[in-house]
Amino acid sequence: SDYSQEPPRHPCLQINAKEPFNAEPPRPVLISSYVTPVDFFYKRNHGPIPIVDDIEKYCISITGLIGNPKKLFMNDILKLAKYNITATLQCAGNRRTAMSKIRKVKGVGWGAAAIGNAVWGGAKLADVLELVGVPKLTGTTPSGGKHVEFVSIDKCKEENGGPYKASIPLSQATNPEADVLLAYEMNGEPINRDHGYPLRVVVPGFIGARSVKWLESINIIPEECQGFFMQKDYKMFPPSVNWDNINWSTRRPQMDFPVQCVICSLEDVNVVKHGEITIKGYAVSGGGRGIERVDVSIDGGKTWMEASRYQKTGIPYISDDTSSDKWAWVLFEVTTDIPSISEIVAKAVDTAANVQPENVEVIWNLRGILNTSWHRVHVRVGH
């Protein structure tokens, strides 16, 4: 693999793996704005960053179980209606390092900032598929296509040098309301190389792994993609499964993200000058479910208070309100007096009343994914 032509990156990023490049921002950066600046958006790669230098020649092929396989150039995509969707992308491995403290797990270590919220600009996949003869709101094509596979240009060792790929159900891909995008913009600028230039998939509400970067082709296939990242990774196993007794075929590829919440205004261990502190962070759920509530405790979870929630600064967030961004995180805030030594905890509840597990032990899994346990930090008031 050739890592000699990687793009420049912001020096404040914490590098979790150098080649392939995996990095996250310092946690407090995440709450300094509702939309995460591109430079501070986590970067999760499985190979060198591909180079697409001739945008005139760049095209995606749409093949498989459809009538007429077709090639679409960037201009064809740009001619379709453009949508700007604010959506949070979160790696399934977010908070993996904390899970590893219980029992070691396999995978790149991540703190709690393998997440970001961006405004993605692009064409809806439902419109693209309609253009090639697959109508809206279809679960299957006449020739038996039920899934939509996205194949990248990059090369990963997990695929033995082949491209990264993933798939989603056709019913979701052809549903305009699911807001699946072929995005060419991130925060109003052309998507940069790290995040998928010139074109990436964004599947709102799903784990980041399904949002394939550097798109090369779209295949309509009869069943879910058989690639490594669908079948041999990003599956949720029970705590009893280890590397000796694992049977990958017993579990489904993880799609939806469960409800998550993290305190970002404090480090894991803090010494503060005053007893009055502000506790801020992010909360987000998968599947388009909103955040109903964020509970904060300053006594390790014995008693709770409710945090205020917002997306756009100064406007209180109401779940299910049509003016709120359904695919995006919610920021929360509480100002309170704390005792001289305290364990501060935050947990969120989504609109389906799903809650987070109290401890990481009960959701421990050998790949270290979906650590959504209550987020805890320690604070001492000192001088």
CA 10 to chain centre: 20
| Residue number, 192 or 351, with CB nearest to ligand MTE | 192
Instruction: Select from 48, 47, 77, 46 the least CA-distant residue to 60.
Output: 77
- Considering only 118, 209, 291, 366, the residue that binds Mo ion (CB under 5 A) is 209
Check: CB of residue 140 under 8 Å from CB of residue 169. Answer: no
356 binds, among ligand MTE, Mo ion, none (CB under 5 to 8 A by kind): none
Q: Which stretch binds ligand MTE (CB under 6 A): 58-66, 73-81, 203-211, 342-350?
A: 203-211
From the list 73-81, 85-93, 157-165, 351-359, the region that binds Mo ion by CB under 5 A is 85-93
Q: Which amino acid is at 56?
A: E
Judging by beta carbons within 10 Å of its beta carbon (0-12, 13-18, 19+), is residue 179 exposed, middle or buried?
buried
Among the listed residues 117, 211, 356, 372, the single contact to ligand MTE using CB under 6 A: 211
**Which residues in 79-108 contact ligand MTE (CB under 6 A)?**
89, 91
The single residue among 13, 65, 87, 91 that binds Mo ion, judged by CB under 5 A, is 91
Cα 274 to Cα 346: distance, rounded to the nearest angstrom: 20
Interacting partner of 334 out of Mo ion, ligand MTE, none (Cβ under 5 to 8 A depending on kind): none
Q: Which residue is nearest to ligand MTE (CB)?
A: 208
Region from 209-217, 277-285, 299-307, 350-358 binding ligand MTE, contact rule CB under 6 A:
209-217
The option from Mo ion, ligand MTE, none interacting with 195 (CB < 5 to 8 A, set by class) reads ligand MTE
CA–CA separation, 45 and 93 (whole Å) = 12
As a whole number of angstroms, the distance between CA 135 and CA 371 comes to 38
Of positions 214, 228, 329, 364, contacts ligand MTE by CB under 6 A: 214
Question: Which of ligand MTE, Mo ion, none lies near 147, with the C-beta cut-off 5 to 8 A by kind?
Answer: none
Contact between 208 and Mo ion per CB under 5 A = yes
SS3 206: strand
Residue count of the chain, please give it.
383
What torsion, rounded to 10 degrees, do the Cα atoms 184, 185, 190, 192 define?
-90
From residue 20 to residue 49, what is the string marking binding to Mo ion with x (rule CB under 5 A)?
Answer: ------------------------x-----
Cβ pair 378, 115 in contact under 8 A? no
Minimum distance from CB of 305 to ligand MTE (Å)?
Answer: 33
Q: Closest approach of Cβ 49 to Mo ion, in Å?
A: 16
Q: Which stretch binds Mo ion (CB under 5 A): 90-98, 210-218, 239-247, 313-321?
A: 90-98
Minimum CB separation from ligand MTE for residue 156, in Å? 6
DSSP letters of 258-287? Answer: --EEEE-SS-SEEEESSSEEEEEEEEE-ST
Position 168 contacts Mo ion (CB under 5 A): no
- Whether residue 345 contacts residue 301, with contact meaning beta carbons closer than 8 Å, is answered with yes
Residue 227, interface with ligand MTE (CB under 6 A)? Answer: no
Contact between 288 and 204 (Cβ < 8 Å) = yes
User: Tokens standing for 170?
Assistant: 């056709």
What's the sign of the alpha-carbon dihedral 142, 143, 148, 151?
Answer: negative
Angle at 281 between CA 309 and CA 256, to 5 degrees: 85
Instruction: Kindly write out the interface string for residues 182-201 of this chain, putting x where it contacts ligand MTE by CB under 6 A and - elsewhere.
Output: -------------x------
Q: Which does 42 bind (CB under 5 to 8 A by kind): Mo ion, ligand MTE, none?
A: ligand MTE
Place of tokens 């990958």: 248
- Nearest-approach distance from CB 182 to ligand MTE, in angstroms: 13
Alpha helices (runs of H) in the chain, residue ranges in sequence order: 74-79, 96-100, 125-131, 170-173, 228-231
Establish if 366 lies at the interface with Mo ion (CB under 5 A): no
Specify whether the CB–CB gap between 190 and 200 falls below 8 A: no
Instruction: Scan residues 10-49 and list those touching ligand MTE (CB under 6 A).
Output: 41-46
Residues that bind Mo ion (CB under 5 A): 44, 91, 208-209
Residues that bind ligand MTE (CB under 6 A): 41-46, 89, 91, 152, 154, 164, 195, 208-209, 211-214
